[in-house]
Amino acid sequence: MFYLIGGAPRCGKTSLSKAISKKTGCPWISGDTMEGIVRQYVAAGDLDKLFPKNVMRRLTEGSNEKMYNSYSSEEIAKAYLEQGKTSHKAIEAFAASEIVTGHDYVIEGHQVHPDLADALIKKFGRENFRVLFLGKTDLDGLVRGFSLNIANDCWIKNKSASTDIYPKIAEMIAEYSRFFKFEAKKLGFDYLEIGCENFSEQLDDMAKNLVGA
């Protein structure tokens, strides 16, 4: 069984993947890890074309203030989307290998798009996949969540000089979430709007529903 968990950044994908892993005992891998591997095998001349979000980061010196004041939420969400596609062939190859060997796996990340899930199901059979897409469009709730996050590896906190930029980051996440909502509905996949106040309860319910226990 492959559990595909896609959605915009900061919507609970990693937390859900860890919960599924704990319930099932199967390992999980992030789309960011897959993307990092893919990047090592891309010709230097193609990097900027295939990884537009990284270009934005480089041009704005890794600063959320510079990035989110230089580009619109739509432009940044589109860069995430285009960069995410770069990992699709790697995720497909990984799934093919693990299905043949009979291993269960969770793959999560913004790189897991609805069209990728649809292609994998058509190629390897629906019985091998359980799919869920997550999103957040509550701007106030997103900003509150950013402020409460204490994780040491939080890019929102670590790349921001102050919390004043949080509303613009929230707008990007909401924009990207709307992509997942629209595409998931179009292709017949479940999309769940994540609440910021009752996430623990939602997390347990999502894991139980996907695992079937």
Query: Which range, of 7-11, 112-116, 172-176, 201-205, averages the lowest pLDDT?
Result: 201-205
Q: How confident is the model at residue 169 (pLDDT cuts 50, 70, 90)?
A: very high
Which pLDDT score is estimated for 153? 81
Structural domain of 204:
2-211
Average pLDDT over residues 12-38: 92
What pLDDT, in 10s, does the model give residues 65-96? 999 999 999 999 999 999 999 999 999 999 99
Return the closest-CA partner of residue 184 out of 150, 128, 143, 133. Answer: 133
Q: How confident is the model at residue 202 (pLDDT cuts 50, 70, 90)?
A: confident
Average pLDDT over residues 179-204: 87
Which pLDDT score is estimated for 195? 78
Which pLDDT score is estimated for 148? 83
Cα separation, 38 vs 94, whole angstroms: 12
Question: For residue 14, is pLDDT > 70?
Answer: yes
Is-above-0.85 flag for pTM? yes
Cα separation, 124 vs 141, whole angstroms: 38
Domain count for the chain = 1
Tallying the residues shown for the chain, one arrives at 213
Q: Check which CATH number belongs to the domain holding 10 and give it.
A: 3.40.50.300
Higher pLDDT, 158 or 152: 158
Question: For residue 151, is pLDDT > 80?
Answer: no
**CB neighbours of 11 closer than 8 A, spacing ≥ 6?**
134, 135, 136, 173, 177, 194
Question: For residue 199, is pLDDT > 90?
Answer: no
